[in-house]
Structures are given as C-alpha cells and as structure tokens.
Amino acid sequence: MNKSYEKFKQALLDATHYDRKIEPNKKVFSASMLGNQKLQNYLQITIGAGSDKTEVDASTLGSLVHTAIKQAAQARNKFMKITYLPEHRFSHTLENGWTITGSIDLIDHEYNTIFDHKVTNTKSIIKIKKEGKDHPYALQLGVYKWLLSKESDIEYKSVITAFDKQASKFNQESLDMLQFIPIDTYSPEEIEKLLTAATDDLVTYMETSAEPAQCDTKSLMWYKKPGTDKSVPMRCKFFCSYKLVCPYYSIKGELMQGMGIKKYYKKKIKKWKHLHLK
C-alpha cells in the first residue's frame, strides 16, 4: 500500500474512534454541554453513555474535517513561526466543584481568534446567524473564551468555520460551501453564571433521581416519511449521542409516550450496561 493510502486510512480510523470516557457521576461538564438540552446532559453525567461508535455516521464527516484542518495547521506551523494551535484542551473548576472542560478546534495567535469547525447545512447556518449569543454554538464558544480568560488577559474573537453540505448553485439560500461566521458571545462573567446554574441544576436532578423532561420537541428536527403520516425525530435518530440510553427514544426509532416509559427505560439501561460497561 502506498503512504497516502495509509495516511488516509489512519485519518478515517481517527475520525471514527470512540474516545468518550464512560465515567458516570463525575462532576465534569464540557463546553458543548452548555447548549445541550437538560436531558442530554443528565444522561451524559449519570450514565456516562454515548454512541458506541461502531458505525460511520453523520458525525464521522465532521471528525474527518477536524482531522484535516488539524493536519493543515500543523503543516503550516512547520514553515512559519507557530501561529495556529489546533485542538487545545483545557479545564477550570467552578466554586461548586464542577470541572469545566473544553477543546478549542483552532486558536490563531496572530489575530487572537478562536475557531470552532462545524459541518452543517444551510438551514442551520441561518439559525446560527439569527440566534446570536443564545445559539448552542455561541454558548460553546463563550465557554472557550471564559476558559481562556482564566489563563490570559488576551481578548479573543470567536468564529465558526461552517462547512455547508448543501451549498450549491441550485440552492437559493447558500452558494458558499465554507463560511467564516463571526460570533458574539456572552461575557466571561455571564458564562460563569450560566455554567454554575446549569451544573447546580444537574445536581438537583441527580439528588432526586428524577430525569429531566423529554428534549424540547421543536428542537428535534421532525421529518415526515414520504407516503406516510409518520414523522421521525431526526435529531434523536441521527444526531443524538444519547439515543441508546434516552428514556423517551425507542429502539424502533420513535419517541415513547405514556406510562410505559419507566419500565421500558429500566430494561433499556440494563441492556446498554450489559453491552457497554463490562
């Protein structure tokens, strides 16, 4: 096999590699969790579960893009004095004992700008621009800036590198496959308050052993199956790392309703733990 094939194979393996640690009940809250639904965070913290990553799915493409940009940044740094710092991981502990972690996709030290890469679609890009500071991606970037503020006095700008999978000359709304979207974020003080409130909230759920309600139904990206009356929650089915342990999402790919949920949930968790927590 030639070297280029080996390199590409390694990139694919890296992109599909499952690296989320299954360590439930640790007081660790990652930057992206601030924009998540409460139920997702609760499942992450109490069960420590996520996708088992045995298949190539929607997130694999995103991971490949991250790998490619990291390699490009490292290659560029070899020829210039170091400007780009890819995948910088750091953490800080709040007064309530929760450790907040983050991994910034790219820091540009020349222009003091942080970048977060998202492989997304036209509709989502419009939403990012419309929702501003409250969009989950803006909250995530706000947490990164809060973490950076604990290390230095530099004020960083924040940008989303958006790869639009739907960009084409046939799409009226977007022609640009790659867009750099400057993002306004809450101040570090405001972010710290939001993080404290979100983590305190999780403790309340954990102490009472009551799961949060099902995720906001409007956020689930419903898709009507052609030729049927059935609608599928696309977010659950394709983009949620917690579907395997969600009390509301059934193995058949539907959202559960009614009294059977608790019983079904217990069975589901037992099965999941048997398969994944050996």
Interacting residue ranges for ligand SF4, rule: CB under 6 A: 37, 39-40, 214-215, 233, 235-236, 240, 242-243, 246, 248-249
197, 207, 195, 202: which is closest to 99 by C-alpha? 195
**Would you say 138 and 183 are in contact if contact means Cβ atoms under 8 Å apart?**
yes
Mind spelling out the 3-state secondary structure of 175-236? CCCEEEEECCCCCHHHHHHHHHHHHHHHHHHHHHCCCCCCCCHHHHCEEECCCCCCEEEHHH
Minimum CB–partner distance for residue 130 and ligand SF4 (Å): 21
Write the Ramachandran bin of 53: left for phi over 0, alpha for psi from -120 to 50, otherwise beta. Answer: left
Nearest approach, Cβ of residue 110 and ligand SF4 (Å): 39
Report the distance separating Cα 168 and Cα 172, nearest Å: 8
Instruction: State in angstroms the smallest separation of the CB of 240 from ligand SF4.
Output: 3
The SS3 call for residue 28 is: strand
What does each C-alpha distance from 42 to 215, 230, 236, 245 come to in angstroms? 11, 28, 16, 11
Of 86 and 233, which has the nearer Cβ to ligand SF4? 233
Closest CB to ligand SF4 among 157 and 273? 273
Nearest CB to ligand SF4, comparing residues 162 and 232: 232
CB closer to ligand SF4, 35 vs 86: 35
Beta carbon nearer to ligand SF4, 119 or 240: 240
CB of 227 to ligand SF4, least distance (A): 24
Smallest gap from residue 219 Cβ to ligand SF4 (A):
8
